[in-house]
Amino acid sequence: MRRPVSLGTAVVVVFLFLSSCGYIGPVLPPSLHIPVAIKNLTVQEVGTKLTYQFTLPGETSDGVFIRRFDSIDLRIGPDVKPFDLDTWAAGATRQQIPLPEPRKKKKGDSEEPDQQIASSIAASSLAGKRVVVAVRTAVRGERFSQWSNIVRIKVVEPLLPPVVKPDSDPKGVRLTWPAQRSGLKYRVLRQGPKESRAVEVAVVDKPEFVDAGAAYGTLYHYTVIALDTDDDANAQSEPSEAVSITPEDKFAPSVPSGLTALATPNSIELSWSRSPEPDTKGYAIYRSVDGGPFQRVAGLLALPTYSDKDVQQGKKYRYEVSAIDEHNNKSDRSAAVEVTF
């Protein structure tokens, strides 16, 4: 005869059963497996190609980790007005994008980096056209994400790498190159002895650049990139061949100005304006007596003044002055001044 189970025993059995099964949470719906839309698509014309770059999403729209992609759908089509995304997609050309290797770990598990896609396509057939570029992804068959950010770009005639000529300049280094067409800008990059790579030093709108930050006697390497950003264009040339130069100071200071001569009871006092060049070392004075040849008097003068005490009553004196820099480059002489003692 089976004995009846007491209420207390039943409670214990139920408790043990629930404890062995763990916590029973809400039932989650199955994932739709639709990737998050790409938001950082960039497109640029570089030389004869259109280059593109974007980051693949790491999760689906409902937070499920994406290990691998079944499809990457990047399309290029005309930028028609009014623009309709579905109509554009139907007529746009799909590009073949190689799929990356499956991801091994979720982000956070040793921080596997985001998957970057960067490549290019030929742009020659698109020259002169305005196009729209967008991309989407799928992880299971045709379950595509929404389209990425829309990129509009005007494709222009390819820009050629500038042919750069470097030379020393009174201010540092002068770079020149032939102009290709009007409206272009140029990015100038420089690598100095303490830099591991070239860095941008200027963007100019003429085919020339003077690098006033360059020091004489120091080796520099320069590259220049032509840019076209007018009217929705986003084009640049390939970098020019790097050119190297160690600039030399072969430039004389400015000709001194404002030379004056004043006769006093015992001397003729000269003064002039200081030369503006920071490497000016001093000045040389030249004197002519009663129409004779000019001859240098005194030594190198550090200050823009001179007191000529070697003078005689009744004689006519003419003076000229030139500036000399730290590398002994000498300026032309100033206009002469005349005084009778």
DSSP string for residues in 142-157: T-B------EEEE--S
Q: Are residues 137 and 182 in the same domain?
A: no
- Name the pLDDT band for 30 (thresholds 50, 70, 90): low
Question: Quick check: is 19 in a domain?
Answer: no
- The number of domains in the chain is 3
**Interval 236-258 mean pLDDT:** 96
In a domain, 159, yes or no: no
Residue bearing tokens 């520099």? 220
Same domain, 212 and 294: no
Q: Under a CB-based contact definition with an 8 Å cutoff, are residues 332 and 254 in contact?
A: no
Q: Would residue 33 count as lying in a domain? A: no
Domain boundary among 215, 245, 275: 245
With respect to residue 254, please indicate whether it lies within any of the assigned structural domains. no
Q: What is the 3-state secondary structure (H, E, C) of 161-212?
A: CCCCEEEEECCEEEEECCCCCCCCEEEEEEECCCCCCCEEEEEECCCEEEEC
Q: Are residues 148 and 171 in the same domain?
A: no
| H-run or E-run covering 236 | strand 235-236
In a domain, 252, yes or no: no
Distance (Å, whole) CA 285 – CA 306: 8
* Mean pLDDT over the full length of the chain: 90
Q: Is the pLDDT of residue 33 over 80?
A: yes
- Does residue 35 register a pLDDT over 80? yes
Q: What CA–CA distance (Å, rounded) separates 325 from 301?
A: 12
pLDDT of residue 2: 47
pLDDT of residue 73: 96
The predicted-structure confidence for 129-182, as pLDDT tens digits, reads as follows 999 999 999 998 878 999 999 999 999 999 999 999 999 999 999 999 999 999
Instruction: Calculate mean pLDDT across residues 5-21.
Output: 46
- 73 and 150, same domain (yes or no): yes
* Between 4 and 64, residue with greater pLDDT: 64
On the question of pLDDT at 223 being above 80, the answer is yes
Residue 26: predicted pLDDT: 53
Whether pLDDT at 11 is above 80? no
3 state SS of 240: coil
Same domain? For 81 and 141 the reply is yes
And the tokens for 273?
């304006």
* Residue 138 structural domain: 42-154
Q: Is residue 37 situated within a structural domain?
A: no
Q: Are 173 and 149 found together in one domain?
A: no
- 165: closest CA among 116, 207, 113, 115? 207
Euclidean distance between CA atoms 69 and 38, whole angstroms: 13
Identity at 250, one-letter amino acid code: K
State the amino acid at position 330 in one-letter form. K
Q: Are 147 and 49 found together in one domain?
A: yes
Residue position matching structure tokens 């730290």: 326
**Quick check: 64 and 145 in contact, CB under 8 A?**
no
φ and ψ at residue 109, rounded to 5 degrees: -85, 90
Give the end of a domain, one of 154, 173, 192.
Answer: 154
User: Smallest Cα–Cα separation from 237: which of 117, 157, 177?
Assistant: 157
Which percentage of the chain shows pLDDT scores above 90? Answer: 79
Q: Are residues 107 and 185 in the same domain?
A: no
Is the per-residue pLDDT at 14 higher than 50? no
Contact 250, 214 (CB under 8 A): no
CA proximity to 44, closest of 131, 125, 160, 115: 131
Least confident of 80-84, 131-135, 288-292: 80-84
Are 170 and 195 part of one and the same domain? Answer: yes
- Residue 107: the pLDDT is 56
- Across residues 39-61, what is the average pLDDT? 96
Q: How far apart are the first and last CA of the chain?
A: 152
Task: Work out the percent of the chain whose per-residue pLDDT is above 70.
Answer: 89
Which of 25-39, 69-83, 221-235, 261-275 is predicted with the least confidence, judged by mean pLDDT? 25-39
pLDDT, mean of residues 82-108 = 88
Please indicate, yes or no, whether residues 177 and 84 belong to a single structural domain of this protein.
no
CATH of the domain at 146: 2.60.40.10
Question: Is residue 36 one of the residues assigned to a domain?
Answer: no
The C-alpha atoms of residue 48 and residue 67 are separated, in whole angstroms, by 35
pTM of the model: 0.75
